Amino acid sequence: MISLTVLAIFIVISWLRVGRPSRRSVSGAVVLHAGMPLLARIRMHLVPCTVVLSVSVLLLTFSDLPWWGPFAAIGSNLGLVALPTRYTLTTSGIRIGWTPFRRWTEFAGVARAPGGARLQGVAGSRDKRVWLSGSRGDDEFLQMLRRMIRTAYQGRNILVDFPPKSGESPGEAAASTDITSTAM
């Protein structure tokens, strides 16, 4: 029975990557709801799913885990990857999946990282990973994140059309965006 408890703990920890209870609600006007592509979700969950599957096989081999334990781990992993996850960008911050909302002023910038990008936390704040699929729209998405962080430090809210209107290049869309100054 201890083996089942250990496996259940690892499964719950892997699911906490996309959903954690939080008292912080989303604030600000919603700028973008972007679904996370399947390839980005696979990249996001690759390590935790591998750990859960490895733990289940090790517990089956060296402990009293029932024969169906690895199948439960595989089912959990498939459900985790198949779960639709989205980015919610507002004028105040970002939320990935059902994780706590983070304000733009908690980040110093955006840097490319393997599998996507990293929102770099300011002193005393943790970094946040943004998982991307490697498609053409990733650069525009990262540029938008940079702009959101930059304008948050300037005391402005930015409302942009993303993705750009059809027939308009990303450079033209960035030049024609409306920046509204408001006091925070």
Q: Read off the pLDDT of residues 41-92 as tens digits, 9 standing for 90 and up.
A: 998 899 999 999 999 999 999 888 888 989 999 999 999 999 998 888 888 8
> Is residue 175 pLDDT above 70, yes or no?
no
What average pLDDT score do residues 88-105 get? Answer: 88
List CB contacts of 66: < 8 A, sequence separation 6 or more.
4
pLDDT given at position 164: 52
Reported as a single tens digit per residue, the pLDDT across 104-161 is: 989 999 998 888 899 999 888 889 889 888 877 788 888 888 988 888 887 766 664 4
Domain ranges of the chain: 2-181
Lowest-confidence segment of 8-17, 61-70, 149-158, 167-176 by average pLDDT = 167-176
**C-alpha–C-alpha distance, residues 43 and 131, integer Å:** 7
Confidence of residue 171 (pLDDT cuts 50, 70, 90): very low
**C-alpha–C-alpha distance, residues 96 and 101, integer Å:** 8
